[in-house]
A and B are shown apart, each in its own frame.
Chain A
Amino acid sequence: MSSLAVTASRPPFISLSLDNWRFALVAGIIALIVSVTLFPADVSFWIVGVFAVLLAMSSVINAYRRQYYGGLLVAPAIAVLFVMNIFPLLWSLGLSFFAYQSSQQTIRFVGLANYIKVLTNDLAATANWNALINTAMFVVLTVAAQMIIGFLLAMIFAKQFPLRRYLLILVLTPMMLSVVASGVFFTYYFDPTFGILSYVIGNITGEQFILMDNKAGAVAGIVFADAWMWSPFVMLLVLAGLVSVPKYLYEAAAIDRVSAWRRFWTITFPYIRGLLMLALLFRTIEAFKLADMVILLTKGGNDTMTISYHLIRIANEQNKTSEGAAISYLMLFMVIVLTNLYLYLANRRQQGA
């Protein structure tokens, strides 16, 4: 209780004390309004900046004097989070209600017009929906491929066999490569003139084989490349679960002559379920953002445009900033809903088990 005794009392609102953060906040807001209305942007930016620093300083001193050490310790993290994450998020949310293009100097409030356009306009909305459907398809296919391959790889590497360590490093390599490097590698792999795939299949069937000239082939190519890169990640997680299963459970099961299937289902699976769920969550979120492989392999041709790539084109290439912001907010909304649904289901399962 001694700490309470030395805690300084709160300064009155109008005092010019260094820890009077309330006053600094109000003064900052007034300065913000005044400087934004009176001065050009590059001047008001610095004025507001100075007041932001003052507010931060007074809050820190206030916390120190009142001994809010917990708050003080997380403050740097929160400050970084605010500057790098929350502020840009709010800023782009604001932009999505304006007609704004980053390559032009004008800005105009349009309310929900951007959202209405990306959802209903007969040209823009069809492209968006189409890209969204493709994205859903890629999420299902790539995540399924990665989970199955990664899981099977983990089952193999959970056993001891000669050269296991070296093979493990080899299998993990794709995950460490840059996406661009593996993308370029796969363009040559799939290339009908220079590629080995067309060469081998062409030699077997006698017909010319072109993988990427139709949607099914192009999707297969992208899914294959993506699975090649990211299955090792799933494998790594599952492997961690597999080695954590206590040996004595298997020994007991062996004594009871439990079938292999049952052994897996009742001993192995409960240990790796959490990690599988984690891998599923990570890979689903990543797959939802799939753009790099598509850009490298098809440029969105053969109807493989994903919503992320579509967004890059709209926001970064065509400079339709606010339209891009509206699409990304709709995407964010979808990801949040899906993630929460997933977490809800995962939790319910856990409680049920």
Chain B
Amino acid sequence: MKTMKGFAKAASLAAVLMVGGGTYAFAKEVVLTMAVPDWPPTRIMKKFFDEQYKAKTGNTVKLVVDFIPWPDFYTRVNASLTSGEKKYNFIVSDSQWIGAFVEGGYYRKINDLLDADPEFKKTFDQIHPSFLDAYATYPYKSKNYYGFPQFPDVLVTYGRKDVLCDAGEQAAFQAKFNEKLPCTGEEMDNIDWKTFEKVGQFFQRKKGEKLAGKVLEDDFYGIAYQAGKGYDFSSMQINGFIWQAGGDIWDETKVPDGKAQGVVNSPVAVKALDQYLSLIKYMPPVAKTGTMDIFKTDELFREGKVAMNVDWIGLGEASLDPTSSKVADKLVFGMAPGTRSADGKMVRWNNLGGQPFVLTTWTTEEQTREAVDFVKWWLSAPIQHQFAAGGGQSAIKSVYEDPKYVGYRPWNRAWATQLDWQKDVWHVAPFFDLLTQQQDQFDLAITGKQDAKTTLDNVAKYQENLLIEAGLIK
């Protein structure tokens, strides 16, 4: 074996000398493999890369992208990482996963790369702090950096102009609630959960009744938001309710003194969850089965079954497309509903969405060099503008503050104004454990099997237990 290897080495050396002649370093091919969810924001990135990217080093850089369907995404990435196959250099990662996979030794810390490259650092500092904290840091809000925004996202309200702005409906709403039915984007920005509830109550119509002057062929509903058992399809909305009411989830930045008991199930949080649950009765009946996730509400909205839907921007492209949306020409967008505090100010805390992408620890130095160049290119203003114009979002300050930005997509008017109000759910290693138990409990409440207090008591008890075991609560 040894002689064979020696021979191979000598032969390859000879080949290099003959071909290269030792006079110039010729371009190498560097392959970067990436695991991404299969949806427009990642498809666009791949397209831009193939069409436009030229490596500064002169190497031929290839981006091999594994497009994985969303429902499988976590399982596939988790299996790839934990099995040790070391397949991917880049991973588009939900922000919650960072802790688990940093602790596992899979995600590469990038502080050294930032320190070594002032230009890179400058770009990095342009990221809005909410996203920087959520997408890059572990422990949350520390100075250890791991990720870069791939597709940043927030919740917005999708509305149907034809229904909301109809003169008859406007007058009827005014008469019933002594309040104007929100119709324009600005009016929708002003919606709090109380108005949202009224919209839900007002537009709940049976088949045969009239909606905006037309007889309905099917039941119609006023409002929808995520209330599904799968993945994080209720926590992402409930967290917003709890924060807006002044409550909190277990706060990982307070390790090891922050408790779950008494915080997670505080009276304020219970009241907030109650409010979340009280709106479900105005939603399409699938909510009662516990399967109304973000994709279902989106589908219901596109099929014209609801007047307003609170959902991620990431799902928005399909609603603009007449081939997949019956309401494509009737859209209006506003900020996600907030809660009005005692002094009349709107509190808009919400859970941010979207995904960063991260580097893995087994990426070689050569690959890392190319990867950093790629990230710098990706986060550069021209590409971010193109991305936003093609349906993506940008967390880079100079980009989203540019007056052009608002014109790219109808929901962009609700983007920059919401960023300061974004927080994120836990990034700790046992996040999936915390998440599944919480989702199970929320599902019981959503489907009417138990009340808000019992639900949050169970969640708090489980979290306290688990986090003490994990050493995160003293």
Contacts and interface: CB of A to CB of B under 8 A. Distances in A.
Contact of A102 (B82, B303, B430): B82
Given A193-B300, A194-B303, A316-B78, A298 B290 contact: yes
Given A301-B229, A302-B447, A319-B432, A193 B219 contact: yes
Interface string B47-88: 000000000000000000000000000110011011100000
A294 B436 CA distance: 16
Contact of B290 (A301, A316, A317, A319): A301
B78 A319 contact: yes
Chain B contact-residue range equals: 35 or more
Contact of A316 (B75, B104, B447): B75
A105 B106 CA distance: 11
Contacts of B305: 193
Interface stretch (A20-28, A83-91, A207-215): A207-215
Contact of A193 (B82, B101, B284, B465): B284
A317 B74 contact: yes
Nearest to A41: B84
B75 A213 contact: no
Given A208-B219, A317-B78, A192 B103 contact: no
A218 B443 CA distance: 14
Contacts of A319: 78, 82, 100, 432
A191 B300 CA distance: 11
Given A318-B432, A319-B82, A191 B286 contact: yes
B440 interface: yes
B289 A212 contact: yes
A6 B436 CA distance: 67
Nearest to A305: B440
Most chain A CB within 10 A, of B75, B229, B285, is at B285
Contacts of B74: 317
B436 A187 contact: no
A11 interface: no
Interface in A86-102: 102
A255 interface: no
Nearest to A210: B285
Interface residues of A, number: 27
Interface in A145-174: none
Contacts of B79: 316
Interface string A291-327: 0000000111110000000000100111110000000
Interface string B430-444: 101100100010010
Interface string A211-255: 011000010000000000000000000000000000000000000
Contacts of B33: none
Nearest to A320: B433
B291 A123 contact: no
A335 B382 CA distance: 61
B105 interface: yes
Contact of A301 (B103, B105, B303, B443): B443
A104 interface: yes
Contacts of B104: 103-105
Contact of A192 (B284, B436, B443): B284
A213 to B, nearest CB: 4
A104 to B, nearest CB: 6
Nearest to A102: B82
B285 A299 contact: no
A213 B281 CA distance: 13
B42 to A, nearest CB: 22
B429 interface: yes
A193 B285 contact: yes
Contacts of B219: 193, 208
Contacts of A212: 289, 291
Contacts of A318: 430, 432-433, 436
A127 B46 CA distance: 43
Interface in B268-314: 284-286, 288-291, 300, 303, 305
Given A193-B285, A210-B288, A319-B78, A299 B228 contact: yes
A103 B100 contact: yes
Interface string B397-436: 0000000000000000000000000000000011011001
Given A103-B104, A123-B465, A193-B286, A299 B75 contact: no
Given A103-B429, A193-B219, A317-B75, A301 B436 contact: no
A318 B79 CA distance: 11
Nearest to A221: B289
Interface in B167-183: none
B135 to A, nearest CB: 20
Interface in A117-131: 123
B193 interface: no
Contacts of B432: 317-319
B430 to A, nearest CB: 7
A192 B433 contact: no
User: What are the 10 A-B residue pairs with the smallest beta carbon separation, nearest first?
Assistant: A301-B290, A102-B82, A192-B285, A212-B289, A103-B104, A213-B288, A299-B229, A301-B229, A318-B433, A299-B230
Interface of A: 102-105, 123, 187, 191-194, 198, 208, 210, 212-213, 218, 298-302, 313, 316-320
Given A300-B229, A301-B229, A319-B432, 19 more contacts: A103-B104, A104-B104, A105-B104, A105-B105, A187-B291, A192-B286, A193-B218, A193-B284, A193-B285, A208-B219, A208-B285, A212-B291, A213-B288, A298-B291, A299-B228, A301-B291, A301-B447, A313-B436, A320-B433
8 contacts: A105-B104, A192-B288, A193-B303, A194-B303, A299-B228, A299-B229, A301-B229, A316-B75
